[in-house]
Amino acid sequence: MSVVALAWPEPGSRAAPAPESRCVQCLGRQQSICADLPPEVLYEMERIGRVRRLRRGEVLSWEGDEIYDVGNVRDGALKLTASLRDGREQILGVAWPGSFVGELFADEWTYRATALTATTVCVFRRTDLNMLAASQAAVATSLLRRLSTDLDAARRSILFLGRKTAEERVASLLVDMRRSTPCDVTGATPMSLNRQQMADLLGLTIETVSRKIRRFERMGVIELIHTRLFRVRDEVSLSRLAG
Amino acid sequence: MSVVALAWPEPGSRAAPAPESRCVQCLGRQQSICADLPPEVLYEMERIGRVRRLRRGEVLSWEGDEIYDVGNVRDGALKLTASLRDGREQILGVAWPGSFVGELFADEWTYRATALTATTVCVFRRTDLNMLAASQAAVATSLLRRLSTDLDAARRSILFLGRKTAEERVASLLVDMRRSTPCDVTGATPMSLNRQQMADLLGLTIETVSRKIRRFERMGVIELIHTRLFRVRDEVSLSRLAG
DNA sequence: CGTGCGGTTGATCCGAGTCAAGCCAAGTGG
DNA sequence: CCACTTGGCTTGACTCGGATCAACCGCACG
């Protein structure tokens, strides 16, 4: 069973390049809101959608803003964050390609969506999408499927943040990265997040993240090729450390 | 803005008594999966649903079990919990009347649902509900609305568990209880959970919960009439303590 | 060359967990 | 009726994990 609490993409799901012409473009991606839609419905989706491009660090939506648009991540990744008044920040989840971003019914954004890398999002006016969902059961079903997945991931995060130790959290993250991101020919896995982002995701500080990673290295469980590139040397120990 | 991370019912939503004859019975309840359904669809829901009664402590579903049924809480409350291998437990959320319990697509339960009090659930065979949702857009929309609410609540919990201190968590819980449960004539609010349940919900230990509550009392922020009954004496301070 | 940024490391502190004891109210059985 | 148990809760002493604060390293870049 997966110990992992984070809405990581399925292995390989980030691989397929995007045909530029299509807005929706989620064909073949699992769990996208347009997965398995019949062609005529996809055509409708294309019609009501438009492409929005974000550069690294750009914010798609601010918490508290009124919601007009919702979207579907096409390439790249967004971090969804919320913060407390004094500035403490927490990543609620990461939206990978195929992820749905936004709320269908609530009136304002409850989180901020920021591009972690250059990202394209297929954006719909919320009213358009709601109308389409009301008339096309397949669209509603896709949305349901997507929300179910996200809810499950969010709930795993709750267990994760409520009950796991720092060491278990960091180990889980490494396990996840290993499983979800394609490693290069030498078997090394790139880390797609920097230490601060890992800390925000795991509810820790950068120092703790750094210390734990170095600890795993000293234990011989992983090998740090570079600060953002690692290789797992002892799969079993690592997954045991993950809890 | 609500600081609170827990899927508490809206004020008053627990008030209406259930007409025994109806299975679905969610008319008038906000956010229920059968809210706002037209009569003929409600009739269909009635047809495919059946009532399941749970006594306090009884388990509706175990994590890891295959999913055949999903349900809609009618009266009472369920706690949804997950645990780590070594037994550490975490409440993922509480299902109040109107809440949807189960997963529409995944194959097994990822959490355990246990009745906190005597509870009745309107149970559907999952395949039936999925078929109905596929043919009746209104059903799909209701489910979408419900899942959106739950996802939002779960994400608030993530911020909550990732970044709030023990004191803020307990204060938030008290604020929530105050807002969501009807207080008696003297203005006292009953606590619907015992200390252990609060601890599981907040990701703390019973000792810490107890200490913080007593601390608030000594500070003059609340008055503890009984271990399970309190009155807020200083609303402003309490909500400031909640973060 | 300095400057800034991401990351690492060490020293110290503090919040919350752990362990253990005790309190109180509600049973329960003789 | 009283002795005894039981379970929920509180309290104190102690421990320890992770935050905080501060220094420093390596590297990219103007």
pLDDT, tens digit (0-9, with 9 covering 90-100), for B173-217: 999 888 877 667 678 888 888 999 899 889 899 999 999 999 999
Q: β-pairing, B78-83 with A89-95?
A: unpaired
Share of chain B above pLDDT 90, in %: 51
Q: What span, in angstroms and rounded, lies between the C-alpha atoms of B7 and B174?
A: 14
- The answer to whether the beta carbons of residues A210 and A147 sit under 8 Å apart is no
CB-based contact (8 Å) between A190 and chain B?
A: no
Please compute the mean of the pLDDT values over residues A135-161 and round it to a whole number: 92
**What's the pLDDT score for residue B98?**
85
Identify the burial level of B85 via C-beta atoms within 10 angstroms of its C-beta, where 0-12 means exposed, 13-18 middle and 19 or more buried. Answer: exposed
Q: Do A144 and B147 touch (CB under 8 A)?
A: yes
- Is the pLDDT at A228 greater than 80, yes or no? yes
Interface of A with B in 149-188 (CB under 8 A): 149-152, 154-159, 161-164
* Percent helix / strand / coil, chain B, rounded to 5: 35, 25, 40
pLDDT, tens digit (0-9, with 9 covering 90-100), for A189-210: 888 889 998 998 898 999 999 9
Lowest mean pLDDT among A26-35, A221-230, B84-93, B101-110: A26-35
**What's the pLDDT score for residue B203?**
87
Lowest mean pLDDT among A83-97, A107-121, A148-162: A83-97
For residue B226, the SS3 value is: strand
Query: Chain D bases under 7 Å from protein CB?
Result: 8-13, 17-22
Within residues 204-233 of protein chain B, the ones with CB less than 7 A from nucleic strand D are 206-207, 209-211, 213-214, 224, 227-228
Is the shortest CB-to-strand distance from A90 to strand D under 7 Å?
Answer: no
Q: Which string of DSSP letters, residue by residue, matches A7-66?
A: -PPPTTTTTSPPPTT-SS--TT-TT-TTTT--HHHHHHHHHHEEEEEE-TT-EEE-TTPB
In angstroms, how far is CA B155 from the centroid of its own chain? Answer: 14
**What's the pLDDT score for residue A27?**
41
Q: What span, in angstroms and rounded, lies between the C-alpha atoms of A131 and A139?
A: 10
Radius of gyration of chain B (CA): 19
For residue A141, the SS3 value is: helix
- Is the pLDDT at B105 greater than 90, yes or no? yes
- The answer to whether the beta carbons of residues B203 and B211 sit under 8 Å apart is no
Strands (E), B55-139: 59-61, 69-75, 78-83, 89-95, 100-101, 112-115, 119-125
Q: Do A141 and B133 touch (CB under 8 A)?
A: yes
CA to C1' distance (Å), from B164 to C17: 16
**What's the pLDDT score for residue B195?**
94
- Is the pLDDT at A36 greater than 90, yes or no? no
- The pTM for the full model equals 0.86
Please compute the mean of the pLDDT values over residues B65-75 and round it to a whole number: 91
Q: What span, in angstroms and rounded, lies between the C-alpha atoms of A15 and B118?
A: 50
Share of chain A above pLDDT 90, in %: 50
Interface of A with B in 14-53 (CB under 8 A): none
- The answer to whether the beta carbons of residues B112 and B54 sit under 8 Å apart is no
- Is the pLDDT at B170 greater than 70, yes or no? yes
Domains of chain B, earliest start first: 39-162 (2.60.120.10), 164-241 (1.10.10.10)
pLDDT, tens digit (0-9, with 9 covering 90-100), for A65-112: 999 999 999 888 888 999 888 888 888 988 888 889 999 999 999 999
Using an 8 Å CB-CB cutoff, list chain B residues near A104.
Answer: 144-145, 148
The continuous run of DSSP H or E covering A100 comes out as strand A100-101
Beta bridge partners of B177: none
Q: Please report how the helices B137-163 and B39-48 are oriented relative to each other, as an axis angle in degrees rounded to 10.
A: 70
| A21 CA: distance to closest CA in chain B (Å) | 30
Please compute the mean of the pLDDT values over residues A167-175 and round it to a whole number: 94
Distances (CA, A) of B26 to A160, B89, B97: 33, 31, 8
Using an 8 Å CB-CB cutoff, list chain A residues near B172.
Answer: none
| A46 CA: distance to closest CA in chain B (Å) | 21
Q: What span, in angstroms and rounded, lies between the C-alpha atoms of B114 and B78?
A: 5
User: Confidence band (pLDDT; 50, 70, 90) for A25?
Assistant: low
Q: Residue A137 carries which DSSP code?
A: H
Lowest mean pLDDT among A68-77, A165-174, B121-130: A68-77
For residue A138, the SS3 value is: helix
Share of chain B above pLDDT 70, in %: 85
| A63 CA: distance to closest CA in chain B (Å) | 11
Q: Residue B223 carries which DSSP code?
A: E
User: Confidence band (pLDDT; 50, 70, 90) for B42?
Assistant: confident
